[in-house]
Amino acid sequence: MAAAQDQNIASPRSDTSAIVEIRDVDYAIGNRTIFSGLSLSIPRGRITAIMGPSGTGKTTLLRLITGQIKPDRGQILFDGIDVGTLNIHELYALRRRMGMLFQNGALLTDMDVFDNVAFPLREHTKLPPSLMRHIVLTKLQAVGLRGAARLMPQELSGGMARRVALARAMATDPDVLIYDEPFTGLDPISMGMIVRLVRQMNNALGITSIVVSHDVAELSQLADMSFIIAGGKVAAQGAFDELKEHDSQIVHQFINGLPDGPVAFHYPAPDYFEQLLA
C-alpha cells in the first residue's frame, strides 16, 4: 500500500494545467494574519513570479507549498496532491519532485562544488559512481562551472555560488524549481547570468519555475505569470504589462517603487509628540 502511495506521489498528473493550487488558504502566526482566503494557481511548465511588499508572506507561501508548515484553513495542492494530508514519508517522496534555490545559496561549506551538487543524488538515489559523476558534470556544464568542480564554497564569488546552488537544485531533475530571492546581493552581470539560466533551464527541461523576488525589473523580463500578494490575498495577477496597468494603489506603489502609498513608511505607533512628552 505504501509503495502504491509513493508511486502516486512520484508520478506527474499531466491532466491539469496547474501544478500548484492554493485554495482559500488562511494562515496566521500568533495574532498576526499572514494569509486570509489566499487563492492562486501556478501553471505547469511556465515561470511564475511571486511578488509583494516585505512581510506579506512570500517565503511563508513557499514553506506551505513544500509542506514545512500547514495552513490553518484551505488546501495546498501539488499536482493534485493535498500536501497538508501527507505523512512524513509521503511528504519526503513529494519533495523529491521539487528543487530549491535558497536566497544565500546554502552551500555546504565543508564540501567542494562537485560534492555539493552530488549531495542530493547520494541522499536520494542509489546511482553508481560513474553515472553520478556524469550527472554532476552535466549540471555544472549547464551553469558554466564544470571547471570549478573542485573549488570550495569560500573560493567562489556570490554569483558563482548561486550558480552552483542552481546546479544542485537541478541534480535530481525535479518537476518544479523554486527560487527564493535568487537575485539578492548579485552584481548586474551575475544577475543577468541567473536570469538567463532560469529561462534556459525552464525551457530546456520543460519544468515549472516559481520565483520569489522583490526585483521588479528582472522579473518583468523573466516571468510568464506574476502574482502580487498584499493584505493576505492576491492583489493582482497576470503578465507584467497587465500589472503595470492595474488600478490598485498598492500594485501601482510596488511596481513603480514609490515611497508613498498604502504601504506606509512608519510602523504603527502612538502619537510621536505625546510619546516624547510622556
Q: Mean pLDDT in the chain?
A: 83
- Considering the entire predicted model, what is its pTM? 0.80
The residue type at 266 = H
Burial readout 243-253 (b: 16 or more C-beta within 10 A, e: otherwise) = beebeeebbbb
Architecture per CATH, domain 2-97+174-277, reads as 3-Layer(aba) Sandwich (3.40)
How crowded is the C-beta side of 195, counted as CA atoms within 13 Å? 20
Spatial separation of the C-alpha atoms in residues 99 and 108, rounded to whole Å: 16
Give percent above pLDDT 90 in the chain: 32
Over residues 94-142, the pLDDT tens digits come to 988 988 888 776 888 899 999 999 998 998 888 899 999 999 999 898 8
Residue 191 binned pLDDT confidence (cut-offs 50, 70, 90)? confident
Q: What is the largest CA-CA distance in the chain?
A: 73
In three-state secondary structure terms, 10 is: helix
Buried b (16+ CB within 10 A) or exposed e, 145-183: bbebbeeebeebeebbbbbbbbbbbbbbebbbbbbbbbb
